[in-house]
Structure 1
Amino acid sequence: MSCVVLCRFKSSNTSCNISKGAPDFCTVYAISKGKISTVRKASRSAPHSSPLLSHIHNLNNHDRDQPEAEITPKPVNLRDRPSIKPHSWLDESIKFERGRGHSGMLSVDSPESDSDISFISSDRPSSGRSSSVYDYMDSGRTSRVSTSSDHSLGSTRMALKFNDLSSPDTSFSHESSATSFSYSSQNMDEAEADMRRLKLELKQTMEMYSTACREALTAQHKLMELSHWRVEEEKKLHEVQLAQEASLAIAEKEKARCRAAIETAEAAKKIAAVESHKRASVEVKALKEAEEMRKLLDNLAETDVRYRRYSIQEIEAATDSFSESRRVGEGGYGPVFKCYLDHTPVAVKVLRPDAAQGRSQFQQEIDILSCMRHPNMVLLLGACPEYGILIYEYMANGSLDDCLIRKKRSSVLPWQLRFRIAAEIATGLLFLHQTKPEPLVHRDLKPGNILLDQNYVCKISDVGLARLLPAVAEDVTQCCMTSAAGTFCYIDPEYQQTGMLGVKSDVYSLGIIFLQLLTGRSPMGLAHHVAESIKKDTFVEMLDPSVTDWPLEQALSLANIAIQCAQLRRKDRPDLGKVVLPELNKLRDFAEEKMMMPILSGCTAPSPNHSEASVQQDVMSDPRLVHSSSFSAPSTPTEENP
């Protein structure tokens, strides 16, 4: 007997599972979309018929021989059925259509996966129906259909339910098949139907149980995942809380620091405001004082209290209309003429019209010289402001520069006069530096601006470049200038480079003048040459050869003082009043002790009290300037007190 099982499944691997579960003596065809996709042929022939088959047939015949009263269905004569051609189903082509209820097939309905299982059998008469189909499906596995021959005795017999075959070649019908069964076969069909129903229910129950187990496992797995996720989230939340607490602590610290910084800034702002207010008050006070001083100077200029005003006619008459015969020299800002005014010999200095800064320096010189009197400062007798003319006392021996280079073939200055001139220059310079309320810096100190009278008493002139230093501090007397002013080789190098002006700027120029008094040479590189000669013990060669009786010890002392004053850095220079002037006074005392004979031929030597007899002058104190009003004779040390 051959059996064909047709199944329609929605799952793709169900056909493979059935192919694996089918007996090896069965041929399995897998059809997809109306075409055969795979074929597994039988590996052996069907087993032989069992000896019990005849016994089963006898039992069937015995059932048919029962009385008609015991048979519920209407008996049908099997001879009325049409004959069945052996293997007639092989001649028909197998046709499959989608859906259920196809005609021309013997079908067994299975509830799993919407599958259609059809059995087509032939090769045996209907009385030999002993084929059984096992539709056993395990929970969670694919269905398996087992087909056995009449020799399978261990399986339960299942009655086949024949459907109406729509094919015209089919020789069976529903009515003929229903009359061919006996009463016992109907009972068996019912039992097998109940068994199949129970199996289906069991299978469904097992599937539901399996599904519930899977869902329970899935739920348990999800629960574990959720628990793990919850633990992780709690850890993260704890970390976030710790980080937040740390951030809050840091924020509190930063707030505290910010508050402290704000308080400090406010305190600094208050202090700055107080300082600014104080500074503004000082500036306002200084401006008021400057304005008052300016007004006072203007008033003094208008009233001509400080100096005598001469008319241009008086000056022209005295100088013979500025005759060349009256010219005695040439100043930095114009010619100088000698004449007589009020029966007094005077020097008339005329400002050139082309002098760029002459007018401002002219006015400054009037303001300074008219407000102070000192034996070592040139005396301003009068002026003609309209024409820029200054009138000084006449200095018979000209400038120190003329005497050193012997321009007028004058006599040689002995070392005694040189020591005295050095002390007098320092005395006059200290007077300028100690002027109150603000010190004065000459800025153009040089031998050409040191004048000598008939007794060789020196006087400082040309204070037009002098500068009043603002009192920025009690211990600091310097200010910053936009441009340096002075004479080359005498100007302070630090002041020339930085523009910082101080009282020690004049000390540098003083040191160069001292070296020229000793050597009589040009100021170019003089400090370096003298210092080298002292190191090499050749200082005697540097002294002025026109003087033959130099006291070497005192000359070397003056040279050391001069080199200290001529240091390049301001802080390396000594203090004029505390260091330089005391040493110079000692040298002057020593020189006057040695002065026992006439100094110059044809000139009378100055007596020790010459300061009281010939050069004594009144020292006037301006209301705005407080300076030293006492001075001593050259025979005693001269000290200026502020």
Structure 2
Amino acid sequence: MASSSSSTGGDPQAKPVAVAVAVRGDGRASRRAARWAAANLALVPGRVVLVHVIPPVSFVPSPSGERVPVERMEPGVVEMYAQDRRERAQEVETVVLEGDSVSEALARYAAESGVRNLVLGSACLSWFRRILRLQNLPTTVLKATPCSCNVFIVSRRQLTVKFANLSQTGKSNTYVRIQSISHRAYALIQRNWLQVKHSLHGLPDDETPKSSGVTSSDLCSQACSSLSTSTNAGRKTPGRAGDKEFDAIGQLKEFPCVSLSSTEGPKPIDDVAKLRKELQNTLMTYGEAHEDVVHAKKKIQVLSNDCSEDLKEVQDALRREELLKQTAAYEKSKHFRAITDTEMVKEAFTCEAYSKHKTESVANMMSTETGKVVDALLCTGKTCRRYLRHEIELATDNFSDAKKIGEGGYGIVYRCTLDHTEVAVKVIQQDSSDKIDEFFKEVEILSQLHHPNLVLLLGFCPEIGCLVYEYMENGSLEDQLINNKGCQPLHWFMRFQIIFEVARGLAFLHGTKPEPIVHRDLKPGNILLDKNYVSKIGDVGFAKLIADLVPDGFTEYRDTVIAGTLYYMDPEYQLTGTVRPKSDLFALGIIVLQLLTGKHPHGLILSAEEAIRKDTFSDILDQSQTDWPIAEAETLAKLGLRCTALKCRDRPNLESEVLPVLEDLLSRVTSSLKSRSPNVVVPSHFVCPILQEVMDDPYVAADGHTYEYRAIKAWLKKHKISPVTKHKLPNSSIIPSHSLHAAIQRWKSQSS
């Protein structure tokens, strides 16, 4: 399907179309065809038109550069776009054809319009078309155009001609021969034809042919004949420069020549000039149209650039939108994570609140249990009295510094009088982290312990957290050894006796039933001396109850917080946190070496070992005493070194090994002292507090003091209070003291 439209400067029915030049929108072949038609067909009478074949409208470009199919556009818009494409010329007549095939459109136009001459341009790259197997448009047009039309194919080097058939026999185009000739040869033919035409115009009137049968075709035939003669003459002279052209002319004369002009006869010269001028105007109009096309292309380029900028802005907007979407997605994820974290915090807060509530419930239960323990102590412990707050404040003058006699890690100690008895009040510090636990621990433990070598607990006050102990007139063993301020040094016999008494007190703690007790902080500062220099172990608040004794290779109790004092602390306990009854033996060994040497515990073990190894032990003994029993002192030092072994399993057993040796040493030094001084003073712990004489059968009462059996028996029949403390006794049971009985018997035998 093809359609055409034309634009002319006058009436399109005034003249028939004589020359049609097929052109494209661009290309040198079209320009070459137009120039050739202007130079060679200017004298042909009739209209000259430019024929341009375009494909049918299948899309309409949008301002953004997008190709919109015609099916999606309105018919009126499509028609306006098609009309705009066809309007290409101003003064030059232009025929715009629409069709899918250029050759078919041109052939149809030649047949329907009756054009006599059709000019086409041809590129010289026929070899390139053959390689790519492209369609040769000029050849196709030559074969498709009707026989009534002259076809000129103009290329760079030659001219391909197909002359019209005048016979009008209606034969097929297959009998029409196509001739190719160079531009030079065709110019020669045209020049000879013009000479023949000029000669015909120069004849007199009587010689001029009267009949119109002598037409331009006859003149052309005559010119061809004359050219053929010249051609034959030229062939006889080989080597001339124009042999190829004359051969072509010789071949051209064999074809019937159709006059390039009308069969009506020659036109006046003025008409020819007029036609030439019109052709020139046509060419100028074509040039202007070409400029308009170029201008339109520039406008299209500007619009395309604008569309590109708009497209770039749209793309930037899309990128910004994508960036904003990504930012929104990121913020959304952050919001989701924040919500998740908030939920986790809520859950953690809920768990913490539950744990806090549970802890408070446990604390309340413990407080309740503690109250029950206190009530039980008050019910069962008859010697342990509960004091009121105002009683303690009144006795200590509202905790006056003048009453202060000491300060420990867990409290301050005041000296005062309660119930007409001199006592020591220990107030637990208010900023102590575990003061409550420590307080009730001491109350629970000390209220159940009654031994001559343990400090006696007389009472407590839970309102201010204080403990009431019996007052020890001679202070601590540390005051006698290290902080001795002008006082007389301890006699070596008292030192032997103190070691024996401390060992007895430890043996009592370790032998308690059903659970043994480990002191964990035995040191000279916690060994107190009464007015008779009887030693007693105090500050049992650090004590730890052990379930049952197990072999030394097994862990008995593992403590997360190490308790004790440096230099007196069991090395194995420091390393592993394991508490055993033998942990107290290490501190006992250090105290033994200190009592013998009177030195600081730092490096004392090494110096004692070296002195014994070099047999210079007498040099490290305390020089304040000049009459040391060297043999007994060295034996005691060796026992102390055994107690300071690094591993618990290498230390001796307190009950079966340490106490018998100490008892034997005490017996020996007592005999030695008696032999030196017959009027030796009787040890105070050998004397009964009731009879004030040496005991023969010592018994321990419920108040922890030792009495003669017959004396305490008679006392209990009449009284329910202690002969020493004047407090009510918890019970009337008495226990024989076999170790003290043996010591008294040895002392008596040695004295006698």
Larger RCO (CA under 8 A, 6+ residues apart): 1
Structure-2-length-normalised TM-score: 0.42
**TM-score of the aligned structures, taking structure 1 as reference length:** 0.49
